[in-house]
Amino acid sequence: MSILDSFRLDQRTAVVTGGNRGIGKGIATALADAGADLVVANRDRDSGVAAAEEIAAETGAETLAVQMDVTNEDDVATAVEAIIDEYNSIDVLVNNAGITENVPAERMDPEDWQRVVDVNLTGVFLCSKHVGRRMIDGDGGSIVNVSSISAFIANHPQPQVAYNASKAGLEGLKTQLASEWARYDIRVNNINPGYIRTNMVEDVLKNDPEMAEEWKREMLLDEMARPESIGALAVYLASEASWYMTGESISIDGGYTVR
């Protein structure tokens, strides 16, 4: 197999949570472009269907949209069942869905804290549990969690204690799952993006240029990356090209964390 062929995902089924926009859509498009049958698993059905159609038109891949709130175990189980009915197996799971609450810790309601932890940490557990079972029954697979450099560093000037705690939790989840599931040929790795130009970041660039400048000062590279750049790393981690890598955490942040 040539080196570029080892990145191909033909005859694989890949599921991306929150694949309708932002980093999730960038990853979903990259996986489809690499040959995967692509499933957008989205809380809001209509935008999931629209994204799946767009990705199919752009890449020529087979795509499907399923409705799934990652915090609701019944939703997750039903969606996984529907994907298996359609494709027989799930080979790649990208746990991308995530939210933040920029509230100072001393004023944060427990409900706000819980909402972030439910999506960013419990949601990853629930999706991994239900897809992992199918991978265990099948030929294994690759699980890729979209974590953040916030798992390791403090962000400033904005407050986001629940976000950083939930992403730090993904470090432990990934390490333990990689250990427990290696025997089933399931690899588990985390991607830790820095600031990426999605809707949220574009809003800050427009409305709070001072904050954006502060972020940029911390980067070695001048540019903020777009979601496609995260897609390239996801293809690597999803494919045979990374067969010897599991339990790892890779930052892709324009040098933010080494500055």
The answer to whether 61 and 38 are in contact (CB under 8 A) is yes
Asked if 119 is part of the footprint of ligand NAD (rule: CB under 6 A), the reply reads: yes
3-state SS, residue 122: helix
Binding residue (CB under 6 A) for ligand NAD from 132, 169, 193, 254: 193
Q: Which two tokens mark 236?
A: 């690597």
Asked if 195 is part of the footprint of ligand NAD (rule: CB under 6 A), the reply reads: yes
Specify whether 244 is catalytic: no
Comparing CB distances to ligand NAD, the nearer of 13 and 120 is 120
Asked if 173 is part of the footprint of ligand NAD (rule: CB under 6 A), the reply reads: no
The answer to whether 135 and 184 are in contact (CB under 8 A) is yes
Asked if 218 is part of the footprint of ligand NAD (rule: CB under 6 A), the reply reads: no
Cα three-residue angle 150-236-23, rounded to 5 degrees: 45
Comparing CB distances to ligand NAD, the nearer of 132 and 193 is 193
Q: Name which of 42, 40, 68 is nearest 54 in CA terms.
A: 40
Binding window for ligand NAD (CB under 6 A); candidates: 12-20, 103-111, 210-218, 232-240: 12-20
Active-site residue, from 87, 163, 236, 256: 163
Comparing CB distances to ligand NAD, the nearer of 72 and 175 is 72
Helices (H), the chain: 22-33, 45-59, 73-87, 110-117, 123-137, 161-181, 199-207, 209-217, 227-238
Residues in the site for ligand NAD, rule: CB under 6 A?
A: 17-18, 20-24, 42-43, 68-71, 96-99, 119, 123, 146, 148, 193, 195-196, 198-201
Active site positions, annotated: 163
